[in-house]
């Protein structure tokens, strides 16, 4: 294993695989703050050169956190498909990259092989990819998952309708939900971030989502994004939903900061399979976002892309229906500006896809980032090309509870029209019945919430 190289006659020496991974990472303010980033652009390239020659086996044997120290490492290692791994363990990361990009390598081949890749390996290959590589490679991956409806396949762009309200006011939530539905949003799920994480508010919103779904006969999924323990308590009262939500992180310690561990997630999955209303077997919905490990000082001196990948390693254990990277919510100390945002979004979605996950992206930014809606729109268009499974649908992109900007209902319709992709088929029929959609475009009744209100 060689951890040094020369560029233009100058030597670059690295201490560890972990350091190579960190320094090979595209610039992120979080890695800089953590003291992990390359000190110059050229040092970054040197790290990439060293990384390209490391083998899958080298990286597998040098996880970011030791097997003995961390439950997430153990889960990822124990879940590894040994047959797939043995076929590729001697490939260099550079060769792995070329094989993935090769036109003769199919989605099926990649997804079979990636079962033998640890999250650090997937992180590594993404560090050898330019933005267009990430889009190109990601676009070929076809990943499906089934809850009530099936997300994924080659021709869909779905949407999580996110009707958040600062006080969880039911009528306010309904208003945004109906508006979103009438613009074609909501096929991935109706999913609310509650303002207060309580059993009461979880039940109240579960009930209203279930009622809307049933009365309007919408082929979709429902979910409230309260803490998994809150949802478990709510489940005990007899109330229910289709999907179980939780935010996850890439180390055991960072998960603990979120108040979760692997057993808790396993219990929740079992409970939702038994008491939830999902028809299919994919009942989990996870959210991630680069640098949550760093923000809880649980990153073990690893870069944020690698840590993010380990979230996907954890997620794939649970066969989730959806994984969502909330890419721009952490703040400029982690992802500084529009450029870093776009890079992070492309990395996360590709890395999640390579883990075999149905990936969505909350393309978003906060007002204290030097970024704006134009950056968001660029990333959303790129991700639509890259096969991103779904995006957030928020009234004109303005989330009045979380106080950040995401993507709007209109953006979802635009992305579908631009790429020729469609909503999940059953949902598309539902939209066409109301005249909300017609010929792949918004229809004459788009925005007419009266048509839905009268049935509630």
Partner 1 sequence: MNNSEQAFISAGIDIGTTTTQVIFSKIRIKDTSGFGFIPKISITDKKIIYRSRIHLTPLTHENEIDALAVKELILNEYAKAGIAPSDIESGAVIITGESAEKRNAKAVTAAISEIAGNFVVAAAGGKLESVLAGKGSGAMTLSKKTGKRVANLDIGGGTTNICLFNNGKVEEAICVDIGGRLIRIDSDKISYSSAKIKECIKNLGLNIKEGQNIYNNNIVSDLETIASSMTSYLTYCIDPEMSLPKEWKDSPNTRLSNRPDIITISGGVADCIEKITSDSFAYGDIGILLGRKIKESTLTNTSFYQKSDETVNATVIGAGNFSFEISGSTIDYRNSTFPLKNVQIIDIEIDNTASTIKRKIEQFCSEYQNSTFALAAEGIKCPTFKQIEETAKLISSVFNFPEYQNKPVIIIIKEDMAKAFGQALRRKLDNNRQVICIDGIDCGIGDYIDIAKPVASGQAVPVVVKTLIF
Partner 2 sequence: MKDITEKPMQQWISKDNKAEKALKRVKQNTTARIGIGRSGARYKTDAFLRFWADQSAASDAVFTEVTPETIVNLGLFEIKTKCRSKFEMITRPDWGRIIEKDQQQILKEKCVKDPDVQIYFGDGLSSPSISANAEDMLQVLKLGLEHEGLSVGTPFFVRYCRVNTARTIGPLLNAKVVCVLIGERPGMQTDESMSAYIAYKPHPQMLESEYTVVSNISRHGIAPVEAAAHIVELILKISKAKKSGISL
Return the CA Rg of the chain: 21
CB within 8 Å of 290: residues ≥ 6 apart? 28, 30, 304, 305, 307, 308, 325, 327, 330, 334, 335, 344, 348
Q: Quick one: what does residue 195 bind among partner 2, partner 1, none, with the CB cut-off 5 to 8 Å set by partner type?
A: partner 1
If binding is defined by CB under 8 A, does position 435 make contact with partner 2?
no
Of 8-16, 101-109, 166-174, 420-428, the segment contacting partner 1 by CB under 8 A is 166-174
Q: Please identify which residue in 328, 332, 358, 360 interacts with partner 2, judged by CB under 8 A.
A: 332
Q: Please identify which residue in 6, 66, 144, 166 interacts with partner 1, judged by CB under 8 A.
A: 166
Dist. CA 83–CA 216, nearest whole Å: 47
Identify which of residues 230 and 292 has a Cβ nearer to partner 1 in the complex: 230
Dist. CA 354–CA 100, nearest whole Å: 10
| Whether 386 contacts 421, CB under 8 Å | no
If binding is defined by CB under 8 A, does position 451 make contact with partner 1?
no
Dist. CA 181–CA 446, nearest whole Å: 9
If binding is defined by CB under 8 A, does position 163 make contact with partner 2?
yes
Nearest approach, Cβ of residue 156 and partner 2 (Å) = 17
Residue carrying structure tokens 């996110």: 162
Q: Please identify which residue in 56, 59, 128, 174 interacts with partner 2, judged by CB under 8 A.
A: 174
Tokens (6 digits) for 172: 């306010």
Q: Please identify which residue in 1, 195, 216, 451 interacts with partner 1, judged by CB under 8 A.
A: 195
H/E element, 38 = none
Q: Which residues pair with 362 in a beta bridge?
A: 326
Q: How far apart are the first and last CA of the chain?
A: 65
| Whether 120 contacts 21, CB under 8 Å | yes
3-class state of residue 57 by DSSP: helix
If binding is defined by CB under 8 A, does position 428 make contact with partner 2?
no
Identify which of residues 36 and 449 has a Cβ nearer to partner 2 in the complex: 449
Q: Please identify which residue in 198, 207, 210, 419 interacts with partner 1, judged by CB under 8 A.
A: 198
Q: Quick one: what does residue 200 bind among partner 1, partner 2, none, with the CB cut-off 5 to 8 Å set by partner type?
A: partner 1
If binding is defined by CB under 8 A, does position 14 make contact with partner 2?
no
Bin 284: left if φ > 0, else alpha if -120 < ψ < 50, else beta: beta
Identify which of residues 27 and 195 has a Cβ nearer to partner 1 in the complex: 195
If binding is defined by CB under 8 A, does position 167 make contact with partner 1?
yes
Identify which of residues 116 and 332 has a Cβ nearer to partner 2 in the complex: 332
If binding is defined by CB under 8 A, does position 413 make contact with partner 2?
yes
Tokens (6 digits) for 160: 């999580």
If binding is defined by CB under 8 A, does position 196 make contact with partner 1?
yes
If binding is defined by CB under 8 A, does position 396 make contact with partner 2?
yes
Q: Quick one: what does residue 94 bind among partner 1, partner 2, none, with the CB cut-off 5 to 8 Å set by partner type?
A: none
CB within 8 Å of 121: residues ≥ 6 apart? 56, 59, 60, 93, 96
H/E element, 362 = strand 359-362
DSSP string over 276-342 = S--SSS--EEEEE-TTHHHHTT-STT--HHHHHHHHHHHHHTT--SEEEEETT-S-TTTS-SHHHHH
If binding is defined by CB under 8 A, does position 370 make contact with partner 1?
no
| Whether 72 contacts 250, CB under 8 Å | yes
Q: Please identify which residue in 2, 367, 420, 439 interacts with partner 2, judged by CB under 8 A.
A: 367
Q: Please identify which residue in 417, 419, 426, 432 interacts with partner 2, judged by CB under 8 A.
A: 417
Nearest approach, Cβ of residue 284 and partner 1 (Å) = 27
Give the interface with partner 2 as residue ranges (CB under 8 A). Answer: 29, 32-33, 163, 165-166, 169, 171-176, 178-179, 183, 331-333, 336, 366-370, 372-373, 395-398, 400, 403-405, 408, 410, 413-414, 417, 441-442, 445-450, 453
Give the interface with partner 1 as residue ranges (CB under 8 A). Answer: 166-167, 169, 195-196, 198, 200
């Amino acid at each position: 294993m060689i951890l040094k190289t020369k560029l233009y006659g100058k030597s670059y020496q690295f201490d560890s695989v972990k350091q190579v991974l960190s320094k090979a990472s595209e610039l992120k303010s979080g890695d800089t703050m953590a003291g992990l980033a390359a000190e110059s652009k050229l040092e970054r390239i040197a790290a990439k050169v060293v990384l390209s020659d490391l083998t899958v086996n080298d990286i597998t044997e040098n996880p970011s956190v030791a097997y003995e120290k961390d439950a997430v490492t153990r889960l990822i290692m124990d879940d590894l498909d040994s047959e797939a791994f043995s076929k590729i363990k001697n490939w260099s990361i550079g060769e792995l990259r070329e094989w993935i990009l090769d036109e003769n390598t199919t989605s099926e081949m990649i997804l079979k092989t990636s079962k033998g890749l640890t999250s650090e390996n997937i992180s590594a290959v993404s560090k050898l990819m330019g933005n267009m590589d990430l889009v190109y490679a990601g676009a070929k991956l076809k990943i499906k998952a089934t809850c009530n409806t099936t997300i994924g396949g080659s021709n869909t762009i779905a949407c999580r309708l996110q009707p958040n309200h600062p006080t969880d006011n039911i009528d306010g939530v309904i208003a945004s939900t109906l508006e979103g539905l009438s613009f074609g949003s909501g096929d991935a799920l109706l999913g609310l971030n509650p303002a207060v994480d309580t059993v009461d508010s979880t039940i109240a919103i579960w009930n209203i989502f279930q009622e809307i779904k049933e009365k309007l006969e919408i082929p979709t999924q429902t979910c409230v994004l309260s803490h998994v323990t809150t949802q478990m308590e709510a489940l005990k009262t007899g109330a229910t939903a289709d999907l179980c939500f939780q935010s996850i992180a890439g180390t055991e310690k960072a998960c603990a900061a979120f108040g979760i561990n692997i057993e808790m997630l396993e219990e929740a999955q079992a409970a939702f399979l038994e008491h939830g209303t999902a028809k299919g077997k994919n009942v989990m919905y996870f959210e991630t976002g680069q640098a949550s490990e760093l923000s809880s000082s649980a990153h073990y001196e690893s870069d944020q892309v690698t840590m993010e990948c380990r979230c996907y390693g954890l997620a794939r254990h649970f066969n989730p229906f959806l994984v969502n990277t909330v890419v721009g919510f952490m703040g400029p100390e982690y992802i500084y500006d529009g450029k870093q945002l776009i890079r992070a979004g492309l990395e996360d979605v590709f890395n999640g896809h390579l883990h075999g996950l149905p990936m969505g992206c909350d393309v978003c930014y906060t007002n204290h980032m030097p970024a704006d809606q134009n950056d968001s729109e660029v990333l959303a268009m790129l991700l639509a090309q890259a096969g991103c499974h779904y995006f957030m649908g928020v009234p004109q992109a303005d989330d009045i509870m979380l106080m950040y900007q995401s993507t709007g209902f209109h953006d979802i319709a635009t992305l579908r029209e631009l790429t020729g992709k469609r909503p999940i088929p059953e949902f598309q029929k539902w939209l066409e019945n109301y005249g909300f959609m017609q010929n792949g475009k918004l229809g004459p009744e788009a925005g007419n919430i009266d048509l839905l209100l009268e049935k509630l």
